[in-house]
Structures are given as C-alpha cells and as structure tokens.
Amino acid sequence: MHTDEEKRYDKRTIEGNLRQGVMSHQEFQEYLTNLPDVSHKAFCWKEGDKDLGTGRKKRKGRSVREA
C-alpha cells in the first residue's frame, strides 16, 4: 500500500497502517515517545468559568476581553 509519508502518523490512518503492516506497533510507540512536550499550550480553565475558550469575562451583560 502506498502511504504519503507526511500522513503516515495521522490519527485518521494509524489503525489501518498498523493492520496493513505499513508500520509496526514498536515503530508507532517510538514515534509517540519522540513527540515534543507541548503541555504549555494546553487550555486550563478555572472552575465556574461559563465562557470557556473565548478569553472573555462576562461583565454587566457584555463581554470584556481579558488582557
């Protein structure tokens, strides 16, 4: 099977690639181990925050952008 190398580890094709022998489970585990740590980019919301993901706080019926 021909595989586009840029999409070899695409989450939509990994299971099929493993089933068809395009990559081994060990090769996939090595790939996962070598991924960079991007945990600093994770969104952390405060409990009770109703307006998730917009970076805005509700104030007196309108949204105000947080600095």
Please state, in angstroms and rounded to a whole number, the distance separating the CA atoms of residues 15 and 34.
19
DSSP assigned state of 45: P
Report the mean per-residue pLDDT for the chain.
78
Which tens digit of pLDDT belongs to each residue from 13-26? 899 999 999 899 99
Which tens digit of pLDDT belongs to each residue from 42-54? 877 776 666 555 5
Mean per-residue pLDDT, 46-67? 58
Is 16 in contact with 23 (CB distance < 8 Å)? no
Alpha carbon 4 to its chain's center: 21
User: How high is the pLDDT of residue 59?
Assistant: 58
pLDDT band at 34 (very low <50, low <70, confident <90, very high): very high
Please state, in angstroms and rounded to a whole number, the distance separating the CA atoms of residues 13 and 46.
35
Long-range contacts of 5-13 (CB under 8 A, 24+ apart): none
DSSP assigned state of 46: P
